[in-house]
Amino acid sequence: MKRLHQKVALVTGGSRGIGAAISQRLAAEGASVVLTYARSAEKAEAVVADIVRNGGRALALRADSSDPAALTGAVSRTISEFGGIDILVNNAGIFIGKPFTEHTLEDYRRIMAVNVDSVYIAALEAARHLKRGGRIITIGSNMADNAVSAQTTLYTMSKSALTGFTRGLARDLGPQGITVNLVQPGPVDTDMNPADAELAGFMRPRIALGEYGKGEDIAGLVAYLASEEARYITGASLTIDGGFNA
């Protein structure tokens, strides 16, 4: 029996990179998966096709994570398509890097809308439907604990907010048997942060293991947290960064 047999998962930002790896792993573990995307329709459908080809069930929904109505609609559609929701993975996120004095109020509003507001909105809607054994898992960043360089102020602020949210929500939902956890990846080789980019020369020497992680590494931790094996873990911030923050 697969660990997530008969479970239903919603993964925001699941069309590429870490989100795609999470979607595929949860499906491989037996979950029916709904994944959202903002612009990458072709990539989202490719992830769905891969899941279906391997015997799973999946659906891609266009839902910009900065749009509250789209997020609540994605939760509703997940329930209507698959009969409920057991796992919410808040993966969608953006990065805005620039000198601090060049920041605009629009920059602030945009990054908070996607990196913080969307997590709150999706969790609030999902919590109304999750049953005992439900899971809320958010993808943050190891930069919440280590501002690696300049020009990361907005990003580190937004990711740090997720720590407090996770702890508070774990207290709120614990009596219902719902766990809430935060996964904080370090450098991961994706099309947004390739291991062969110029930035990698700065990052790699700081990684204890000496290499970038893979989306599958993050997906493995998420699958564990979503499973019954992790029933006694909640309110935790779990850093998975190859020792970058060691």
pLDDT digits (tens, 9 = 90+) for 191-226: 888 898 888 888 999 999 999 999 999 999 999 999
Task: Provide the pLDDT for residue 202.
Answer: 87
**Spans of the chain, pLDDT less than 70:** none
Report pTM. Answer: 0.97
* Whole-angstrom distance, CA of residue 241 vs CA of residue 121: 27
**CB contact at 8 A, 114 and 68:** no
In order of their start, the domains of the chain are 8-94+116-148+158-189+214-240 (3.40.50.720)
Active centre residues (catalytic): 155
Run of H or E including 72: helix 68-82
Average pLDDT over the chain reads 97
Strand, helix or coil for residue 104: coil
Strands (E), the chain: 8-11, 32-37, 58-62, 87-90, 135-139, 179-185, 237-240
Q: What contacts 171, CB < 8 A, 6 or more positions away?
A: 235
Task: Provide the pLDDT for residue 200.
Answer: 87
User: What phi, psi does 86 have (nearest 5°)?
Assistant: -115, -30
* Whole-angstrom distance, CA of residue 63 vs CA of residue 214: 25
